[in-house]
Structure 1
Amino acid sequence: MSDADHDEVPLAPLRWRAGALEPVDGCENTVSRVAAADSWFVTEGRARGLELHRQRFERALPAELRGDAAPFWDAAIATLPRTGDWFPRVEARTASGRAELRLLMRPAPAIRSAARVVSHHGADPRRSPTIKGPDLETMLRVRSEGQRRGADEVIITSPEGYVVEGAYSAVAWWRGDILAFPADDLERVDSVTARSLETLAVALGVDTVREHTTASELEGHEVWILNALHGIRIVTAWVDGPSVAEQPGRRSLWARRLDALRRPLP
C-alpha cells in the first residue's frame, strides 16, 4: 500500500458538511470504514505531487461523493498550515449506507532515510489492491507483524513470489544503472512517489524497466522503498531474505532531486 500512513498521532478530524469543514463530534460512535484515502507530506507550506494525490483520491471516491470532491479538496488545502511539518490525510468513509469526506490534520513524524524489510508470508492480505484506503487497517496489522520480526516494512509478493509493493510503500531497485519497478500486471496502488521518481529518471536520461522479480533475485542489488512521507528509503537489510547492496551517495542524490519537486500549496 503505497504512501505512508499510521506513523503519526492524528488531531481531531474535520468532516465536510453543507459546504464547509466542521469538527467531528467527539461522542460519535458510528462504526465506519475507509473507502478511499490519500496523504502527503507538507513542509513549510510546500508539497510534492499534490495534483497527483488529488487525482488519485478523486478516482477512488464513491460515486455519491464525487460532486463534493473539488470544493472539499480546496477547503482541505486551505486549512493546512503554511509552517512546520505536516502529514494530512483525506478520507471517504462509509457507514450504514451513508458516505462522508474527512480531513485529518496530523503532525509529521520523523523522516527516515533507511529501513529494514521482510517478505509477507501467506496469502495476499489485500482486498482492494489498486485503491488506497480500504486496506489501511489490514496493512497496519501486516506491518505490525513485520515489526515483531525485526523489520520496518513488509513486502507483499504475488502468488508466484514476485515483489509487488510494501504495506505502506512502493518498491524500486537498481540493476546497474537501470532503475526497475514491478511489472504493470502486478496489481498495486498507483504510487505518487514512484511515478515522480520514474518521471525524474526519464527526464534525466536514466533507463527504467518494469519487471517480474522475486526477492531472491534481488541478491546484491540496491533496493528502495518509496512513499509520500519518507520519499526514498534505502533497504539496509531484508530479514530472512536477500543480501542487499548500496551505492554510496545514490539515495541522497535522488532524494534531493525529489525534494526539488516540492511546490508551494495553492
Structure 2
Amino acid sequence: MSVESIHRWHGGELHPLDYCDMTETSIAAADSWFVTEGTALALGLHRERFLAAVTEAVTEAAATEAGGEAGDAVEPHLALAALNPVGFWDASRAVIPRTGDWFPRVELQHRAAGGWLLVLRLRSAPERSRSVVVASWGGEDPRTHPRRKGPDLAAMLALRTAVQPAGAGEAVILTPEGFVVEGAYSALLWWRGEILCRPLDEFERVDSVTARSVLALAAALGVETFAEAVTPAELAGTELWSLSALHGIRIVTAWVDGPALAELPGRLSTWRARLDALRKPL
C-alpha cells in the first residue's frame, strides 16, 4: 500500500501535516532519492544539489523582486538564514524510516503571496523496474530551468504522460537541432562497444546524481568515457541506459519510431550490482 506524509519545516522543526493546500505555491527546487532498508546512494550529492538549488532559487527571486540581476540581489543570505535549509535537510534525513523502501522528496516552495516554504514528502517507493521503452518528445522544450530540479516537475510529468499512449514509459527531450539531451525523469548514457557515452556537457539538463555515480565508477574502473552530440537515429545498435534515483540503471529496450537498440548480456546486471554496492546508511 502506498504511503505518503507531508512535513512542513517551521521554527527549526518538522511538523507533520494532516492536510496541506499547495495550490498557492510553486516548486522552486526539489530533490528525491531512493531509500531501501535505511541505505541510499550518493546522498551527499543529493544534499549538495538540493542546497545549491535552494540558494539559486532564493537569490534569483531576490534579484527579481529588486528588479535587477542575480548579482544585484538584496540580502538573499538573510532569507537563506531564516529558512535554514541545512537544518531542514538534516531533520528530513532523520525521520526517514530505516526499514522498508522509501522515495522521499524535499521541496522549496514559493508562495504566491510571497515567502518560502520547505516541505518533506515522505513517500513509500513506487514499483521499480529494470527496463523502459522511450519515445522522442516532438514538441517544444517546456523546461524553464533545465539545470535545476523542481520548477519543471509538472511539465516533465506532462511529457511522460503524452508518450504513454504510444507505449513508452519515458519521453526523451531533444535540442532544436534534434540531439539527445535527457529523459523527462532520467539521464541517458549509452555504450559504443566498451566506451560509455553521454550527451555533450553544454546541453542543458539536470545534473543527475545516478549518472554522476555511474561515470565515477567508470573512471575508477578505467572504462573510457566520451561526450557526443547524437540524434536518436545515431544511437542505432548501441546499448542505451536510462538512469534515475528511483530505478537506478534501466536498459532501454525499445525507442518508439526510433532506432533499434542492442544489449550486451550481463552488462546491466553487473553495473546495477556495482551501483548498489555504493549504497550507504543514511
Question: Given the two structures, how large is their TM-score scaled by the length of structure 1?
Answer: 0.94
SS of match in other structure, 1:81 = coil
Answer yes or no: is 1:214 the counterpart of 2:236.
Answer: no
Rate the CA distance shift 1:86–1:25 in 2: closer, same or farther, 3 A: closer
1:35 maps to what in 2? 28
Distance 1:213 1:54 in 2: 31
Stretch of structure 1 that moved more, 65-74 or 159-168 = 65-74
Preserved contact between residue 6 and residue 18 of structure 2 (Cα < 8 Å) = no
Question: Deviation at 1:110?
Answer: 1.4
Aligned ranges 1:19-58 → 2 under 5 Å? 19-24=12-17, 26=19, 28=21, 30-58=23-51
Aligned partner of 1:53: which letter? H
The letter of the residue matching 1:217 is E
Matched, 1:84 2:109: no
RMSD between superposed Cα atoms in Å:
1.4
Structure 1 residues 29, 173: closer, same or farther in 2, change over 3 A?
closer
1:98: how far off? 1.2
Alignment of 1:230-249 (within 5 A): 230-249=247-266
- Residues 24-44 of structure 1: CA distance to partner in whole angstroms, max 9, x if unpaired? 362646521100000000000
Identify the match of residue 178 of structure 1 among 185, 195, 211: 195
Among candidates 61, 66, 71, match of residue 80 of structure 2: 66
After TM superposition, list the pairs within 5 Å mapping 1:118-129 onto structure 2: 118-129=135-146
1:64-143 equivalences under 5 Å are 66-67=80-81, 68-95=84-111, 96-143=113-160
Question: What's the counterpart of residue 169 of structure 2?
Answer: 152
Higher relative contact order (CA 8 A, sep 6+): 1
Percent identical = 55
Q: Give 3-state SS (helix, strand or coil) of 1:105's partner.
A: strand
Distance 2:146 2:191 in 1: 24
* Residue 149 of structure 1, CA deviation: 1.4
Larger mean Cα displacement after TM superposition, 27-36 or 163-172: 27-36
Shift of 1:10: 5.8
The structure with the largest alpha-carbon Rg is: 2
Q: In structure 1, how many angstroms separate the alpha carbons of the residues matched to 2:217 and 2:269?
A: 14
Q: Is the 8 A contact 1:58 1:66 kept in 2?
A: no
- Distance in 2, matches of 1:150 and 1:174, equals 24
d(CA) in 1 for partners of 2:162 and 2:179?
Answer: 20
- Return closer, same or farther for 1:152/1:219 CA change in 2, 3 Å cut-off: same
Q: CA distance change for structure 1 residues 177 and 27 in 2, over 3 Å: closer, same or farther?
A: closer
Alpha-carbon displacement from aligned partner over 1:84-106 (angstroms, at most 9, x marks no partner): 00000000001121111000000
**Runs of 4+ with deviation above 6 angstroms:** none
Paired residues, what number?
Answer: 258
Kept after mapping to 1: 8 A contact 2:210/2:244: yes
2:10 match: 17
Aligned AA (1:44): E
Distance in 2 (CA, whole Å) between partners of 1:29 and 1:158 is 32
Distance 1:207 1:85 in 2: 34
Match of 1:121, SS state, is: coil
SS in 1 for 2:5: coil
What residue is the counterpart of 2:71 in the other structure? none
| Pairing 1:194–2:208 present | no
CA distance in 1, matches of 2:140, 2:127: 32
Pair 54,27 (structure 1): closer, same or farther in 2 beyond 3 Å: closer
Aligned-residue offset at 1:66: 3.2
Residue of structure 1 equivalent to 2:65: none
Separation of aligned partners in 1, 2:191 and 2:229: 14
Task: Give the secondary structure class of the aligned counterpart of 2:4.
Answer: coil
